[in-house]
Amino acid sequence: MMAAAARHLERDLAEQPDGPPEAARVFGLPTALRRGAAPVAAVLIAALMDRTADGGVLGGLVRPLLMGVAVLVGVVGAFGWQLAVDRDGVAFSGVLRLHRLSWQQVTAAAVHRGRFTLRSRSGQVGFSSGPARLLHRHFGGPYDPQRIARTVTLLAHRPERRPRTVLPEDAVGAALPLNRLSVAGYALWAVGQYLLG
């Protein structure tokens, strides 16, 4: 991942050595997809698990709880992400948490094996880039995860290219409460259907 980010950074620095500062902006899938992913996926997964339940602790509780939550988190992670860049750094809204990183913490971003990864000095966060890549391929627009990764990596290494403005605190993460509620609701459903069934 770091090698790809380094190659893109070298190419970007060579192509645009003294460009103007980037605009502060928010990247993410359309609002309807971001906000609708968690509740719709929770209902569909619950319906599927209910139809395929085979009783017992393993089939009636463990499988719906563990598999269902894992699939739900994966779907929400792929559709519900947002990433913002502004003067102060990067804000990334994932499945259940909002991560704010200053530019001094950000080291690189890259897309590798279908996953967008934002790397910082304290770790990394990311999302499955498949839906964003498909959406960009078919409709264009600002959904290209590769371009987002190149922009973040360039800004991390070129302070003069960073945005001059700050985005509002609530620019990212509006779907987080709904994501949390959907995951908790699904988990409660999984336990409840086992106890009542």
C-alpha R_g of the chain: 19
Could you give the C-alpha distances from 88 to 70, 122, 173, in angstroms and in order? Answer: 33, 17, 17
Residues 132-150: pLDDT tens digits?
Answer: 999 888 888 788 999 999 9
Helices (H) and strands (E) in the chain, counts: 7, 7
Q: Give the Cα separation of 82 and 37 in Å (integer).
A: 13
Question: Taking every pair of C-alpha atoms in the chain, what is the biggest distance, in angstroms?
Answer: 66
Q: Would you say residue 4 has pLDDT above 80?
A: no
pLDDT for the residue 55: 76
Residues 18-56: pLDDT tens digits?
Answer: 789 999 999 999 999 999 999 999 999 999 998 887 778
Q: Give the Cα separation of 133 and 114 in Å (integer).
A: 9
Residues 67-124: pLDDT tens digits?
Answer: 999 999 999 999 999 999 999 999 999 999 999 999 999 999 999 999 999 999 999 9
Q: Single out the residue of 182, 130, 181, 174 nearest to residue 26, CA to CA.
A: 174
Helix (H) or strand (E) holding 172: none
Q: Would you say residue 17 has pLDDT above 70?
A: no
Q: What is the DSSP letter of 193?
A: H
pLDDT for the residue 122: 92
Instruction: Let me know: does 93 contact 81? Beta carbons within 8 Å.
Output: yes
pLDDT for the residue 83: 96
Q: Which residues pair with 109 in a beta bridge?
A: 118
Instruction: Let me know: does 80 contact 179? Beta carbons within 8 Å.
Output: yes
Residues 122-131: pLDDT tens digits?
Answer: 999 999 999 9
Q: Would you say residue 186 has pLDDT above 90?
A: yes
Helix (H) or strand (E) holding 84: strand 82-86
Helices (H), 53-144: 56-57, 68-79, 130-139
Question: What is the model's pTM?
Answer: 0.86
Instruction: Let me know: does 172 contact 29? Beta carbons within 8 Å.
Output: no
Quote the tokens at residue 96: 């259940």
pLDDT for the residue 7: 65
